[in-house]
Amino acid sequence: MRLSTRLSSFDATLVAQYNSMLSIMNVKASELDLYTHRSTERNLRWKMDQVAANDLCGLAVTPDGAGCWAVDREGEVYTLGDAAFLGSLKSYGITCGTPIVGIVSAAITSGYWIYSAAGDVYAFGNLPSYGALPEVGLSADVQVVAMAAYGDASAYCLLNAAGDVFTFGDMKNVGSIPQEGIILSDPAVGIMLGDVDSPGYLIVDSRGEVYTFGELWFRGSMPAEQAYREAPVVDILPFRSTAQEGYRMVVADGSIYCFNAPFYGAPIGNMLGENIVAAAGDPVDKDGYYLLSDAGEIFCYDINSDHR
């Protein structure tokens, strides 16, 4: 059974049965206590200098999971752990006409893509460039909000706030939210890809509503689970193992909501900054997750974390 549109549009009996199944599989951060200072300190992997932590907007993880790159709105890149500095817009004297939105890495090689609200894409390190919206004659009438790439660096896609998807490289475009005749009341904020051999992607909006396209399974959404918080969703991260596939939603207040995926902890209530601004999955085993706060704190949670 695959649900490929809003859960509310399905038969109420089916919805109730599906939600009952999800309640067994999922662990919701909202049902857990706030975490201790000791746990937060253990999971606080890196802390940027407060002077450097300014207008941060994106986080990417090195292929070995032992370092991170963070980027700010002007395209400056900050390295943590064993991450090597491979360049930035500032270091190359590039001035982007619109704010930088985020940074994405690949699992097979050292490098990162930086992308802007207008759909510009800049490749650094060993990563190739497959194009950008301005290069193919497309105008970002609606702000680009997210980017996702295959782990083998063979393709990437851009997502705008209306739910339009633009694919580059060896990625098949299998639809978008506007093509389904849906006008979002809450902006799209994140996109999650399937495997290279299973074309498809999953889009989430700031309310936590999930839309699936292609060969991806719907595992639940925050409104369907009645788990919506006042803080917006900022990203969605894939979880894959030999036994199951699911995803996690990251909320600005530090909450993590897991759908057919294990919960390893969250910094809710213990962040030095006010918000989580970006997140990234662990590229090594696709099991853990990294969170970036607006104060330059990077939290790492995996199977060895205290809360699970």
Please give the pLDDT value at position 24: 32
Please tell me the predicted confidence (pLDDT) of residue 141.
80
pLDDT digits (tens, 9 = 90+) for 103-136: 999 988 889 999 999 999 999 999 999 999 988 8
Q: Going by CATH, does the domain composed of 7-301 fall within 2.120.10.30?
A: yes
Q: What is the mean pLDDT of residues 31-55?
A: 63
Q: Is 49 exposed, middle or buried (0-12, 13-18, 19+ CB in 10 A)?
A: exposed
Percent helix, strand and coil across the chain, each rounded to 5? 10, 35, 55
Rounded Cα gap, residues 154 and 127, in angstroms: 9
When comparing pLDDT for 136 and 15, which is higher?
Answer: 136
Q: What's the CA gap between 283 and 219, in Å, rounded?
A: 21
Q: Which amino acid is at 139?
A: S
Rg (CA), the chain: 18
Is the per-residue pLDDT at 261 higher than 70?
Answer: yes
Whether residue 280 has pLDDT greater than 70: yes
Q: What is the pLDDT of residues 247-258, one digit of tens each?
A: 999 999 999 999
pLDDT band at 54 (very low <50, low <70, confident <90, very high): confident
Contact in structure between 123 and 134 (CB atoms under 8 Å): no
pLDDT at site 194: 83
Would you place residue 50 in the very low, low, confident or very high pLDDT band (cuts 50, 70, 90)? low
The region of weakest confidence among 15-24, 192-201, 226-235, 274-283 is: 15-24
Consecutive H or E run containing 24: helix 12-25
Q: What's the pTM?
A: 0.85
Tell me: the pLDDT tens digits for 135-166?
Answer: 887 776 889 999 999 989 999 999 999 999 99
| Inter-CA distances, 145 with 196, 204, 217, Å | 22, 11, 23
Can you give the pLDDT at residue 224? 74
